Amino acid sequence: MSCETIQPLITGYLDGELSADQQTELDAHLAQCEQCRRDLEELRQLKDNLAGMSFREPGDEELDRYWQGVYNRLERGTGWVLLSIGAICLLSFGAFMLVERVVRDPDVAWIVKIGVTALIIGAVVLFVSLLRERLAVRKTDRYAKEIKR
Ligand SMILES: [Zn+2]
């Protein structure tokens, strides 16, 4: 078995992907080849360094920032939901009262009644739609950020 054919087995060994037969071949070669033993050691250290880089423990500062971020998201998410509910309730109620008053008033021309009703319903629909869009954008932002991580 030459050193060239053993090379893939070395990387396979480091990735933990060798079959029992391949492991035996590799062990046999390493026992009598110093160069490949050295290669294996170098690759193992390189791999450990890489692993250390991506899986290092998050420091206190990073954890603080993480929890701060979670708290901010929760806080703002809750704020938006409450604001939406409040705005929708008040707007709907106000619009309903106004429409009812105008429609019931015998002095107001029917064309004005239709106009006011349409205007207010339109405004409420637009406002709700804008709020929903705003909330949808927030969700997309969050999704995009998590993808980047
Ligand atoms: Zn060798």
Q: Calculate how far, in angstroms, residue 104's C-alpha sits from the geometric centre of ligand 1.
A: 97
Please name which of 33, 24, 50, 42 lies closest in space to residue 9, comparing C-alpha atoms: 24
Of 14, 37, 54, the residue at which a domain comes to its end is 54
Residues 34 and 67 in one domain: no
Which residues span the domain enclosing 76? 60-148
Measured from the Cβ of residue 109, the count of other Cβ atoms closer than 10 Å reads: 9
Mean per-residue pLDDT for 101-112? Answer: 83
Residue, of 146 and 2, whose pLDDT is higher: 2
1 C-alpha vs ligand 1 centroid, how far in Å?
8
* Residues 71 and 123 placed together within one structural domain of the fold: yes
- Tell me: do 41 and 73 sit in the same domain: no
50 and 106 co-located in one domain? no
Residue 70 sits in the same domain as residue 126: yes
Distance 41 CA to ligand 1 centre (A): 13
From ligand 1's centre to the CA of 36, what distance in Å?
4
Are residue 110 and residue 87 in the same domain, yes or no?
yes
Q: pTM for this one?
A: 0.36
Same domain, 76 and 126: yes
CA of 51 relative to ligand 1 center, distance in Å: 26
Between 5 and 70, residue with greater pLDDT: 5
What is the domain count for the chain?
2
CA-CA distance, 139 to 127, in Å (whole number)?
Answer: 19
